Amino acid sequence: MAPKPGAEWSTALSHLVLGVVSLHAAVSTAQASRGAAAGFLLQVLAATIMLAPGLSTHEDCLAGAWVATVIGLPLLAFDFHWVNGDRSSANLLLGGGMVLAVAGGHLSPEGRSVAGQAMLLVVAVTILIVAVFTANTYGMWGGTMLGVAGLLSRLEEDRLLLLPKEDICRWALAAGSWAYCRALHTQRLQWE
């Protein structure tokens, strides 16, 4: 089936917005939260690889998205948990992401997809739980938007609201990344 007219622009725009939001988040969190900044930078790299189709293969794009999901998102959650004193959950999330990254080559494409979506949902739920207990509104929104992206990616539909499903997921990830960056900033101010 041929892509719908405008779908290429929608996809490019969603990658661009996710990359720009993640780059802004990486720069603004670099001084206080190096782990989170690294996670945001992995999202930037994955979006950049997707925007430069002549420089990479489809497999490179999938690998970039895999790394951004199983290492980048746990790095974000790691920092949020660490700042809030939940060091064991922080280490567990980051360790789980590292194990998944190493084991990814041994999983089928469907297995990688399920593992990536599970990691996204675990990160979203744990951020949401910590945000609720610390009354961090931005964290609640960030966790919710990351969760929405994870749940939307499991839908069978190819299009939602006249846009490709993957583009809607990237918009939700961008909104979640922005809110999460604000949540980290808010949390750091509370502890100072």
Instruction: Write the pLDDT tens digit of every residue in 85-143.
Output: 889 989 998 998 888 888 877 888 788 888 888 888 888 899 899 999 989 999 999 88
Q: Count other Cβ atoms within 10 Å, centred on residue 44.
A: 23
Q: What percent of the chain has pLDDT over 90?
A: 9
Tokens 């780059």 label which residue? 23
Q: Please check whether residue 43 lies inside any domain of the structure.
A: yes
Residue 149 lies in a domain: yes
For 64, phi and psi rounded to 5 degrees? -65, -40
The listed range with the strongest mean pLDDT (31-35, 150-154, 167-171, 180-184) is: 180-184
Looking up tokens 């809030």 gives: 84
User: Rounded to an integer, what distance in angstroms lies between the CA atom of residue 177 and that of residue 167?
Assistant: 15
Does the residue 87 lie in any domain?
A: yes
Does residue 5 form part of some domain?
A: no
Classify residue 2: in a domain, yes or no: no
Q: Whole-angstrom Cα distance, residue 115 to residue 28?
A: 29
For the ranges 9-23, 46-60, 95-109, 120-134, the lowest mean pLDDT is seen at 46-60
Q: Which residues pair with 15 in a beta bridge?
A: none
Mean pLDDT of 35-46: 85
Assess whether pLDDT exceeds 60 at residue 17: yes
Q: What's the rounded Cα separation, in Å, for the pair 26 and 43? A: 10
Lowest mean pLDDT among 50-64, 97-111, 173-187: 50-64
The predicted model gives 141-147 an average pLDDT of 88
Please state the pTM of the whole predicted model. Answer: 0.82
* Residue 160 main-chain phi, psi, to 5 deg: -135, 135
Looking at residue 174, its pLDDT comes to 92
Query: pLDDT at residue 70 above 60?
Result: yes
Per the structure, the count of domains in the chain is 1
- With respect to residue 157, please indicate whether it lies within any of the assigned structural domains: yes
The one-character DSSP state at 4 is P
Ordered alpha helix ranges (H), 32-72: 34-51, 58-67
d(CA 119, CA 135): 24
Question: Does 152 reside within a domain?
Answer: yes
- Domain containing residue 174: 12-190
pLDDT classification of 2: cutoffs 50, 70, 90: very low
Containing 124, the helix (H) or strand (E) segment is: helix 109-134
Query: Of 66 and 99, which is predicted with more confidence?
Result: 99
Q: Is 67 part of any domain?
A: yes
Q: Is the pLDDT of residue 187 over 80?
A: no
Quote the crossing angle between the two packed helices 165-191 and 73-83, to the nearest 10°: 20
Instruction: State the average pLDDT over residues 161-175.
Output: 81
CB atoms within 10 A of CB 109: 8
| pLDDT at res. 63 | 66
Rounded to whole angstroms, the Cα distance separating 175 from 179 reads 6
Phi, psi dihedrals of residue 159, rounded to the nearest 5°: -130, 140
Domain CATH for 179? 1.20.1070.10
Cβ neighbours, 10 Å, residue 163: 18
